[in-house]
Amino acid sequence: MSTRTGQWFTGRLPSWPARDPYLLLLTFILPLGGVVLVASARVPVVLAGDSVFERVSVQQMVLAGVGVALALGLSAVDYRRYARIAPIGLAGVLIALVGVLFVEDATSLFAARRWFRVGGLTVQPSEFAKVAMVVMLAALAQHYAGRIREMRVSILVMGGVVAVVVLPIVLEPDLGAAITIAFVGFVVIFAAGARLWHLLLGFAALVPVALISVSQNAYQRERLFTFLSGDPDVTRTGYQAAQAQIAMGSGGITGRGLGLGTQKFRLPIPDSDAVFAVLGEEFGFVGTGLVLVLFLALFVRGIQIAAATDDVFGRLLAIGIVTQLCFQAFVNMAVVTGLTPVTGITLPFISRGGSSLLASMIMMGILMNVARQSDLGRRE
Amino acid sequence: MRGFHGSQNRSRAPKDLGEPPDPSRRLVVMLGGAVAAAGVLGWRLFNWHVQQSAELSARGASSLLIRSEITPRRGSILDRDEAVLAISRGAVRVVADPLAIHESTDPFEVADRLSGILNLDAAGVAERLGNPNLRYSEIARGLVDEPARAVSEAIQSGQLPGIRLDPDRVRVYPNQELAAHVLGFVGEGTARPGDVVGQAGVEAWYNDVLGGQSGLVSSDLDRLGRRIPIGRYALQPPRHGAHVSLSIDRTIQHIAEQELEAAIEQFGATAGTILITNPRTGELLGLANRPTYDPGRVHTYREFGPEFANRACNLIYEPGSTFKLITMAAGLDVGAIRPETTHNLPGTVDYFGQEFKNWDERTYPEQTMVSVLQHSSNTGTIFVADTIGANTFYEYIARFGFGARTGIDMAGEVSGIVRRRGDQGWFLPDLASNSFGQGISVTPLQLATAVGSIANDGVMMRPHVAREVQHADGRREKIESEPIRRVVSRETAQTLIKMMEAAESGVLDNLARVPGYRTAGKTGTSEIASSGRFLEDTSIASYIGFGPLELPQVLALVIVERPQAAFFGAHVASPTFSRVMSRVFAHLRVPPR
């Protein structure tokens, strides 16, 4: 992989601080919103007798600070360096992804094995797998730049990377995350210029995997049928959707005010999957609309950066990163608003969860570096 | 925007796979997808936040707002010395939250464990846990002691998710059968399930006083049924029930129970009643019935049998010769007779076509009215009734309160059956039979109240069993004794008492005599009518009397039904009266003569 032009860029511009005002704003405002909403969603725990500075809220605060620092730091690192270490990174997360399947006392929820416990923290390898996969795909697209129209490259090589990342996640089982990651992979391959019918073929290969997963996991079936039945009251997942809907409606246009929502006492995981519903109740249409616009803005900015980057690696990195962040956000919001079946997808930056937040901030850091080396960055 | 296939591609000759599409076109597709997705989401958010806001927030407001009643504490029933006769005790109620159970575990497993602890049918319990739309389902109530502790331990050890214990109360009658018919019992009301409602006796009559008023809590609940601290919450505290203290003296009550039991056993009787009152106030001091029941274990009785009847005021009987006192009082009061009035007492007499006999069928010529009582002569009593006439006779019957409820404060009182002249089914000979207590049905309480008026100088007092209501706020409300009416003149009453005393002193071997005290009374032996015929060889033996005559303060009526070992009131009821009065006088420290 040639990096001659990259070195030229690095030499010409001061590498820090990051300059893109949109990305900078998002880098600060999204995790900050997360800190506030997680603290609000933890109100039931505090009222049940825990300290005001209870563990999860404080952890979120600290990780947000670490994350912002990490993003700003990474924005100074030339993204081209990642192309070389991409295979190593991918191998690392694959080992972790397989390893988590064999952890006996991995923190389990719905009998799924998704987390490592490290000290007092839990680490979710699939969050970092998202980063590694995007970087790997971008690197491969750059490497096979002229041959992307070949099925061998688009499906066997790049699609194969997607598959090895997704399969262990399916086995955890975490079908929601697997589908999200697979989708992002396909978007990157698509953006790289692969033929559409190759993509369709690859997609078709993944359908049986999803079907087998659904047939093997009772809770996935339950969620799917609840969604298809349209009846919000028959099961606990229907209950979750119904409570989220009430939260949204109760919020109205401007919301009840920070901390004043009561639905978080009824929503199953108010600080994580359902944090968007807490936002909806406490800040109303204004709050949820703003978050929607912020993620849309992130996506649009990412596309702009990609369009202004002439190197394939950077271009696909930008696309992969914003697709990863925004598609996951979209799925989370769609779940909360009952547009898709319930999956355990968190809202990036905002939901409780260190792995997710750090992985998201790493992606923001990489994106900011791509931005500053793009035409957009140079114009400033 | 620059081209996608840059300079690197030139080094290797690409196969002819067609030109790659303009990459910016694919970016436009992605942008379009993103905007479309955001549009759908935005529309949905607008729909929920704005268009459906009112409906959804109303649904949220009502969905888990629980209004639950706080059961008030039911007041106690106390005796006249404030010893407890009935009290409500803290217990627990086993309540399930079916939704929480469905969220956390398998309802059948919980049903299995719970039914094992409580000895219930597992299928029945499973049915109550089965509906995930419910937040509240009652499994068992009124648990105390061991089963309550077992459930509590199982809950604490996490074996019964979604099951909780709510406070409940049970009614306890610490003296078991003592005064069962006075107290009555409680059961579940029909108006609302779970209500404790008095079903008989004082429990029923004073149900509203004892029961108090429910409080109400309404609060928002979270998904596990706990109150949301920042949600809506309103509490209207309950008004606890008042204590009712009775005129019943538990020692006198105990005497009544014991002596009735003894008499029934001695004479092989089937049933009986002892009623002890204070004729000056109308207060009931003791009231025992046999058969009887344990009000704390009513739920174990398979049917509502005769043991539940308060024979003193819920059932009627023919009073027999004790009723001669009433006829005599009427005769004295209108001046038709005087104690020394003499009359032939034929063994049999034909009265308007019907033949009446003395019990011994003997003729006593030229006897005074005292002798009429002494020999308990039917023909002599017919003379008195005939002398004053039917109109006057039935007027006095009414004044003495027969045919109407006394107004006693216990549930289920009946009025008896009195047919007067002019009523359908009344014939002239009925005046004769009514005069000595046949063909007329009264309650024991009516007789005791009527005879009580003679003991009280002619003024009949309203019988009552409650003396005081102690409200939950500490206020004490006395229930005053009140006269119903003057029935006969003071002179009549005193004359009749003297006649009664004289008549009894003339009886050889009077078993009703109370050693050391002056008492007056009258025996009664009524035949039992069944299907229009009198049963042979069986009777209702009774004795009613009061004392001490210096200032009568205790009246006792002893009724023994169907004694096998003897027949007459003088043999069956009199000895019991004597023992009851002796013991009651001793307990009340009434000075002997």
Domains contained in chain B, CATH given: 67-122+134-144+166-246 (3.90.1310.10), 250-587 (3.40.710.10)
Chain B's closest residue to A303, CA to CA, is B27
Say what percent of chain B tops pLDDT 90: 59
Residue of A143, A147, A258, A262 to mutate, interface with B, max B Cβ within 10 Å: A262
- Check residue B231 and report its DSSP letter: S
Q: Per the domain annotation, does A141 fall within a domain?
A: yes
- CB atoms closer than 10 angstroms to residue B491: 12
Q: Per the domain annotation, does A50 fall within a domain?
A: no
Characterize A212-224 residue by residue with b for buried, 16 or more Cβ atoms within 10 angstroms of its Cβ, and e for exposed. ebbeebebbebbb
Predicted confidence (pLDDT) per residue in B406-465, tens digit: 999 999 999 999 999 889 889 999 999 999 999 999 999 999 999 999 999 999 999 999
Q: Do B48 and A245 touch (CB under 8 A)?
A: yes
What is the phi/psi pair of residue B93, to 5°?
A: -125, 135
Residue A54, pLDDT score? 86
Residue A202, pLDDT score? 85
Residue B19, pLDDT score? 57
Look at chain A and report how many structural domains it folds into: 1
- A118 membership: H or E segment, kind and range: strand A116-118
Residues of chain B contacting A251 with CB distance shorter than 8 Å: 49, 53
Which of B161-165, B209-213, B381-385, B525-529 has the weakest average pLDDT? Answer: B525-529
The Cα B421–Cα B320 span in angstroms is 20
**Residue B37 in contact with partner chain A when CB distance is under 8 A:** yes
Predicted confidence (pLDDT) per residue in B140-174, tens digit: 878 888 888 988 888 888 888 888 888 777 899 99
Q: Is B147 left (phi over 0), alpha (psi -120 to 50) or beta?
A: alpha
Residue B534, pLDDT score? 62
Residue A220, pLDDT score? 75
Residues of chain A contacting B44 with CB distance shorter than 8 Å: 337-339
Predicted confidence (pLDDT) per residue in B497-507, tens digit: 999 999 988 88
Beta bridge pairs of residue B256? none
Q: How far is A1 from chain B (nearest CA, A)?
A: 10
Residue of B25, B48, B133, B219 to mutate, interface with A, max A Cβ within 10 Å: B48
- Check residue B515 and report its DSSP letter: T
Angle at alpha carbon of residue B372, lines to B368 and B378, rounded to 5° = 140
Residue B9, pLDDT score? 42
Window 38-57 of B, Cβ < 8 Å to A: 38, 40-42, 44-46, 48-50, 52-57
**Residue B36 in contact with partner chain A when CB distance is under 8 A:** no
The Cα B575–Cα A166 span in angstroms is 101
| Nearest partner of A329 among A26, A72, A94, judged by Cα | A26
Beta bridge pairs of residue B164? B95
Residue B202, pLDDT score? 96
Residues 6+ apart with CB under 8 A from B268: B563, B564, B565
- Check residue B227 and report its DSSP letter: B
- Check residue B221 and report its DSSP letter: B
Q: How far is B148 from chain A (nearest CA, A)?
A: 27
Residue A4, pLDDT score? 43
Amino acid at B434: N
Q: Give the one of A233, A246, A295 whose C-beta lies nearest to B60's C-beta.
A: A246
Give the residue numbers spanning the domain of A104. 76-349
3-state secondary structure string across B434-466: HHCCCCCEECHHHHHHHHHHHHCCCEEECCECE
Residue A2, pLDDT score? 42
Whole-number mean pLDDT of chain B? 88
Angle at alpha carbon of residue A62, lines to A60 and A67, rounded to 5° = 90
Q: Do B8 and A2 touch (CB under 8 A)?
A: yes
Residues of chain A contacting B24 with CB distance shorter than 8 Å: 307
Chain A's closest residue to B58, CA to CA, is A250
Q: Per the domain annotation, does A101 fall within a domain?
A: yes
Residue A366, pLDDT score? 95
Tell how far CA B118 is from the center of its chain. 29
ipTM of the complex: 0.90
Q: Do B56 and A249 touch (CB under 8 A)?
A: yes
Average the pLDDT over B216-231 and give the result: 79
DSSP assignment of A183-208, as one string? HHHHHHHHHHT--HHHHHHHHHHHHH
Cβ(B369)–Cβ(B328) under 8 Å? yes
Cβ(A114)–Cβ(A168) under 8 Å? no
The Cα B386–Cα B384 span in angstroms is 5
CA dihedral B320, B326, B327, B330 (to 10 degrees): -170
Residues 6+ apart with CB under 8 A from A177: A126, A169, A343, A344, A345
The Cα A293–Cα A287 span in angstroms is 10
**Residue B25 in contact with partner chain A when CB distance is under 8 A:** no
| Interface A-B: count of C-beta contacts within 8 A | 158
Residue B99, pLDDT score? 83
Q: Which two tokens stand for residue B584?
A: 């009651």
Beta bridge pairs of residue B87? B172
Q: Per the domain annotation, does A267 fall within a domain?
A: yes
Q: Per the domain annotation, does A318 fall within a domain?
A: yes
Residue A14, pLDDT score? 53
Query: Which residue reads 């199953």 in tokens?
Result: A268
B220 class by beta-carbon count within 10 Å (0-12 exposed, 13-18 middle, 19+ buried): buried
Cβ(B230)–Cβ(B224) under 8 Å? no
The Cα B499–Cα B454 span in angstroms is 12
The Cα B123–Cα B483 span in angstroms is 60
B460 class by beta-carbon count within 10 Å (0-12 exposed, 13-18 middle, 19+ buried): buried
Could you tell me the pLDDT band of residue B535, with boundaries at 50, 70 and 90? low
Which of A343-357, B62-76, B559-573 has the weakest average pLDDT? Answer: B62-76
Strands (E), B425-553: 459-461, 466-470, 476-478, 483-486, 520-530, 533-547
Predicted confidence (pLDDT) per residue in A205-247, tens digit: 888 888 888 887 777 777 777 777 665 544 455 777 888 899 9
Residues of chain B contacting A248 with CB distance shorter than 8 Å: 45, 48-49, 56
- Check residue A154 and report its DSSP letter: I
- CB atoms closer than 10 angstroms to residue B80: 18
Q: How far is A96 from chain B (nearest CA, A)?
A: 31
Residues 6+ apart with CB under 8 A from B224: B97, B100
Alpha helices in chain A (DSSP H): 4-12, 21-41, 43-47, 55-74, 81-100, 125-143, 151, 160-171, 175-192, 196-216, 218-229, 236-251, 275-307, 312-336, 354-373, 375-379
Q: Per the domain annotation, does A12 fall within a domain?
A: no
Q: Per the domain annotation, does A345 fall within a domain?
A: yes
Residue B591, pLDDT score? 93
The Cα B429–Cα A205 span in angstroms is 111
Residues of chain A contacting B2 with CB distance shorter than 8 Å: 310
Chain A's closest residue to B52, CA to CA, is A249
Residues of chain A with pLDDT under 50: 1-12, 15, 106-111, 233-235, 380
Q: Please check the confidence at residue B479 and state whether its pLDDT lies above 90.
A: yes
Q: How far is A198 from chain B (nearest CA, A)?
A: 12
Residues of chain B contacting A190 with CB distance shorter than 8 Å: 26, 30
Q: Is B517 left (phi over 0), alpha (psi -120 to 50) or beta?
A: beta
Q: Do A193 and B56 touch (CB under 8 A)?
A: no
Residues of chain A contacting B105 with CB distance shorter than 8 Å: none
Q: Per the domain annotation, does A167 fall within a domain?
A: yes
Q: Do A193 and B4 touch (CB under 8 A)?
A: yes
Residues of chain A contacting B37 with CB distance shorter than 8 Å: 330
| Nearest partner of A348 among A284, A280, A282, A299, judged by Cα | A299
Residue B536, pLDDT score? 65
- The pairing of strands B271-278 and B459-461 is unpaired
Alpha helices in A15-78 (DSSP H): 21-41, 43-47, 55-74
Residues of chain B contacting A246 with CB distance shorter than 8 Å: 56-57, 59-60, 63
Predicted confidence (pLDDT) per residue in B255-299, tens digit: 999 999 999 999 999 999 999 999 999 999 999 999 999 998 887
DSSP 3-state assignment of A320?
A: helix
